[in-house]
Amino acid sequence: MATLSQLILYPIKSCAAMPVEEAVATVSGLSAQGVHDREWMLVTHEGQFLTQREFPRMATLVPRVDGDALMVSAPGLPPLRLPLAQASGPTLRVQIWDDLVDALDCGDAAAAWFGVALSTACRLVRFKPELARPTSEKWTGGAPSAARFADAYPLLLIGQAALDEINARMRAAGRAALPMDRFRPNLVIEGSDPFEEDYTQALRCGDIVIKPVKPCARCPIPAIDQATGIPGPDPLDILQSWRAKAILDGAVCVGMNCIVAAGSGATLRVGQAFETSLSF
C-alpha cells in the first residue's frame, strides 16, 4: 500500500514550490490555503507564457500564503503582496502551449516587480475562476478533466522509489544525486516499487480516485537547482538509457500526469494511504 509523503502546489507557474500538509483535490488540480495550483502565470507583453526553461531564476521566486494575500519573495527585493480576493480588471489573452486563455492581468506594480526579479519585461496574470481549460481526452479514455495553467494535466505523481533508482544510476555514473523538487511533482508516494506509477491504473483514498493517464515527458528543468535557479548538468543523458518512451516518440519520461477521476472536493493529507490497482 502506498503512502502520500509529499503534497505540493505551485501557485505561480514555474516558480518555487509550496509544500502543504493537506489540500483539496479538484478536477482542475490541488487547492490549499486559499490558492490553487498554477493559478498565476508570468507571460510576455504579447501573452506568451514564461517558464524556467528560458528563465531559470524563476525557481527563486517563492510564493507563500500570508493571511489574505500571496506573498512572493525574491533575492534582493522586498516581498510582493498579491491579494487573494478575486478582483476585476483588464483581461489579457495568453497562450500556454496550444491553448489561448483569457486571464486577469494583475497590474503594473506586479509586472514591474517580476520584471526586476527576472530582468525581463513581463506581466503576471491570474486564471479566471469562472473559466475552465479542458485537458486533452486523448490519454484519459474520454474522461473529462481540466487544468489552470499546468502544462497538460491537473496532477503530477512520482514515487519516491523512482527517484531512488534515478539517484542510484546518477551516483554510478559519478554524478550527484537529485532532490525530488527537480521533477516538480504534486503528489509523492512512498511504499511503491520503482516507477510503479507507470502502470498504475488508479490510486484510491476514501472518496478520491487519482488516475494516471500519461507519462510526463521531461524538459531541461530537472537540471536547474530549485534553491538557486542555477542550471547544472542535465540528468536527461543518464535517464535516456532506460526512461525513453516509444509511446511518446522517444521522450524521456519520469512521473505520470493524472486526473481526479472521482471525489473532486475531498481532502488529501500527507500520511494518507492509497489503495493501488495496476493496469495488468
pTM of this structure: 0.97
pLDDT digits (tens, 9 = 90+) for 62-80: 999 999 999 999 999 999 9
For position 153, what pLDDT does the model report?
97
- 142 and 81, same structural domain? no
The residues with which 208 forms a beta bridge, in sequence order, are 205
The reply to whether 205 and 98 lie within a common domain is no
Q: Do 141 and 246 reside in the same domain of the chain?
A: yes
CATH of the domain at 236: 2.40.33
Residues 96 and 75 in one domain: yes
* Phi, psi for residue 75 in degrees, rounded to 5: -55, 125
The residue from 126, 154, 184 where one domain ends is 126
Do 11 and 141 share a domain, yes or no?
A: yes
Q: Are residues 254 and 162 in the same domain?
A: yes
**Domain hosting residue 44, numbered range:** 39-126
pLDDT tens per residue across all 280 residues of the chain: 899 999 999 999 999 999 999 999 999 999 999 999 999 999 999 999 999 999 999 999 999 999 999 999 999 999 999 999 977 889 999 999 999 999 999 999 999 999 999 999 999 999 999 999 999 999 999 998 999 999 999 999 999 999 999 999 999 999 999 999 999 999 999 999 999 999 999 999 999 999 999 999 999 999 999 999 999 999 999 999 999 999 999 999 999 999 999 999 999 999 999 999 998 7
DSSP state of 60: G
Same domain, yes or no: 205 and 80 = no
Average pLDDT, the chain: 97
Residues 218 and 177 in one domain: yes
Residues 221-257 as b or e (16 or more Cβ within 10 Å = b): bbbbbbeebeeeeebbebbeeebeeeeeeebbbbbbb
Quick one: which of 59, 55, 49, 51 has its CA closest to 16? 59
Cell 490519454 maps to which residue?
Answer: 139
Number of separate domains in the chain: 2
Q: How confident is the model over 122-135, as pLDDT tens digits? A: 999 999 999 999 99
Residues 174, 199 within the same domain: yes
End-of-domain residue from the set 106, 126, 146: 126
Can you tell me which residue has the cell 503530477? 156
Contacts of 43 (CB under 8 A, 6+ apart): 49, 50, 92, 94, 95, 103, 122, 123, 124, 125
Does residue 250 share a domain with residue 146?
yes
Q: Are 147 and 127 in contact (CB under 8 A)?
A: no
Q: Which of 101, 126, 151 is the last residue of a domain?
A: 126
